[in-house]
Amino acid sequence: MSSKLATLKFEQLKAIKWRDVLISTLMPLIGVLAFILLWHTAAPNINTSLGDFPQPKQVFEQWGNLVDEYKTEQERAEVFYERQEKRNAELLAQDPAAKIDEREFNGRPTFFDKIETSLVTVLSGFFVASIIAIPVGILIGLSQPLYNAINPLIQLFKPVSPLAWLPLVTIVVSAVYVSDSPMFSKSYIISLLTVSLCSLWPTMINTAVGVAGVSKDLINVSRVLRLGWFTHVMKIVLPSAIPMMFTGLRISLGIAWMVLIAAEMLSQNPGLGKFVWDEFQNGSSDSLSRICLAILVIGLIGFLLDRIILILQTYINWDKSAVVR
């Protein structure tokens, strides 16, 4: 009887385990497949000025086209540099004192160059935002009067759309950032600043909340040990605030990536935003598929950026048992 009961339990357990595996691996797959099927069947029914809405297959084909374009550009660059080298060598052979130009290949930025530009821009904007937001967050978390002073500004600027910031930033950058041989393009600086302005707030607020929420007991420990201000912040406050800080950083990076695409469209920073905009203006038969592809890539990169922050968090956070999701 009891052995029968045991086998029954074992079988039940096995069944539960199988169900878990099904739910955790098969269900996401079913979800994605259902979405693709829906897309596939619905697309031909949407007739646009640029033809039917692209089906998944056509979007995937564009991937191949973009890879081909990239390869062609690479080849062109190689040919260009070879030719330049050869010409320079010839010049030097004729006259060792000849002046030679080393020119950069000035090809069209391909889809992959644009992804790179977008990543560089978003990360630099996010970096600028973080090195402002974290110290300010710590300060206003530690001091209630300072918090009261800055909180109205945070509440005022937090909801402002990037599209509202952009014209202002553009005009100011054009006026201030004047240089004969600029290290960075204006469009890059404009996108970077817009991203920073919009992604500053979640990190700042969450850091402040984390810092203000340090347990009273730990503060008493710090007082009894008579820790100096710096040691207090480094040993007690920051470690306590790290989980909240990362929550803020995650939200900020998410916002930064969203804002970037909009900023690039308007500032003409040669990234994914500009890619989408150019395809929209271009209006060829491939444009819709390319925009769809860009959307998928933007989503995927956003997801990966979020994962990177999560990995960073599990690496830095002292509480290894914390569940991150």
Partner 1 sequence: MSQIHLELTKVGIEFPTPKGPFCALRDVDLKIKKGEFVSLIGHSGCGKSTVLNIVAGLYQATTGGVVLNGREVNEPGPERAVVFQNHSLLPWLTAYENVELGVKRVFKGKKTKAEMREWIEHNLELVHMTHAIHKRPDELSGGMKQRVGIARALAMEPQVLLMDEPFGALDALTRAHLQDSLMEIQNELGNTVIMITHDVDEAVLLSDRIVMMTNGPAATVGEILDVPLARPRNRLELADNVEYNHYRSAVLRFLYEKQKKIESIDAKRAEKQLDKGAAEPAKSVA
> CB-wise, 27 or 234, nearer to partner 1?
234
226: left (phi over 0), alpha (psi -120 to 50) or beta: left
Distance in Å, CB of 219 to partner 1, minimum:
10
Distance in Å, CB of 216 to partner 1, minimum:
9
CB-based contacts of 265: which residues, under 8 Å, 6+ apart?
273, 274, 276, 277
Q: What six digits make up the tokens of 315?
A: 């690496």
> CB-wise, 246 or 257, nearer to partner 1?
246
> CB-wise, 8 or 225, nearer to partner 1?
225
Distance in Å, CB of 45 to partner 1, minimum:
49
283: left (phi over 0), alpha (psi -120 to 50) or beta: left
Q: Which residue in the block uniquely carries the two structure tokens 């949407």? A: 46
Contact 289, 61 (CB under 8 A): yes
> CB-wise, 45 or 321, nearer to partner 1?
321
Contact 210, 142 (CB under 8 A): no
CB-based contacts of 205: which residues, under 8 Å, 6+ apart?
137, 154, 158, 248
Distance in Å, CB of 222 to partner 1, minimum:
9
Given the rule CB under 8 A, which residues bind partner 1? Answer: 215, 217-218, 220-221, 223-227, 235-236, 239, 318-319, 321
Integer Cα distance of 295 and 272 in angstroms? 9
Distance in Å, CB of 313 to partner 1, minimum:
14
> CB-wise, 151 or 220, nearer to partner 1?
220
